[in-house]
Structure 1
Amino acid sequence: MSAGPAFHRRHAGGVELFVRLTPKSARDAIDGVEAGADGRAYLKARVRAVPEKGKANQALEKLLASALGVPAGLVSIVAGGTARLKTVRVAGDPELIEAKLARFDV
């Protein structure tokens, strides 16, 4: 992992990710890790879905589940449901999840 601030933290039964979501994008993608002006790191993600009635949040959950190779039911937004910056919980073995997250932290 990089020496910068972490974009995730271990949580009981899994890992919490800090994500900056861009809805209404041309494609669904994870664009790596970036540090904000406040020094906090977050995973940059974009989805094609619009931010209406939770569609963009659902698309983000599916995107992360696919990227991490876990069932979509194990990924849930726990904070920032209507904000661009979100906290997403991924349930499962923290070590396995962190190993998969390492590829985004360049």
Structure 2
Amino acid sequence: MTENWLQELGDVVVIRVKAIPRARRDEVRGVDGGVLKIAVTAPAEKGKANEAALTLLAKFLGVSRGKLQLLSGQSSRLKRVEVAGVSASQVEERLAKLER
């Protein structure tokens, strides 16, 4: 079942993400409070944390970095990320594997 953090729009999905910069390690932490939490070691300066979050999310989803686009939240922890090449159900399956 698709939750409010994940929206399928035609051939792309939009994911609501909360990025946590300067974490101890890069990791996808799971869904909490209607957002997918992602921790990155990069600082939130000059787009470093945004790029690290998008790279981590691409790796987690098994797609190339070029398939992701930051729609909103360039200077905020709360972001909307568009991902091409995956369906909402594929994203949920990957997340279910993480939570096991």
> With structure 1 as the length reference, what TM-score do the two structures score?
0.81
Alignment gaps of 5+ in structure 1:
36-40
Matching of residues 59-78 of structure 1 within 5 Å = 59-78=52-71
Contact 1:79 1:88 in 2 (8 A): yes
Distance 1:11 1:98, change over 3 A: farther
Residue 105 and residue 46 in structure 1: after superposition, are their counterparts in 2 closer, same or farther (change >3 A)?
A: same
The equivalent residue for 1:26 is 24
1:90 to 83, 86, 89: 83
Amino acid at match of 1:67: F
Which one-letter code corresponds to 1:30 in the other structure?
Answer: V
Q: How far apart in 2 are the matches of 1:105 and 1:76?
A: 25
1:65 offset after TM fit, Å? 0.5
- Structure 1 runs of 4+ off > 6 angstroms? none
Q: Which residue of 2 aligns with 1:48?
A: 41
Deviations 1:73-97 (CA, angstroms, capped at 9, x unpaired)? 0012111110110001101142544
Would the alpha carbon gap of residues 7 and 98 (structure 1) be closer, same or farther in structure 2, given more than 3 Å must change?
same
Output the TM-score relative to the length of structure 2. Answer: 0.86
Determine what percentage of the aligned residue pairs are the same residue: 37
1:52–1:75 Cα change, 3 Å: same
The amino acid of 2:61's aligned partner reads: L
Distance 1:16 1:101 in 2: 15
The residue identity in structure 2 corresponding to 1:9 is Q
Alignment-mate amino acid for residue 100 of structure 1 = R
1:10 equivalenced with 2:19 (yes/no): no
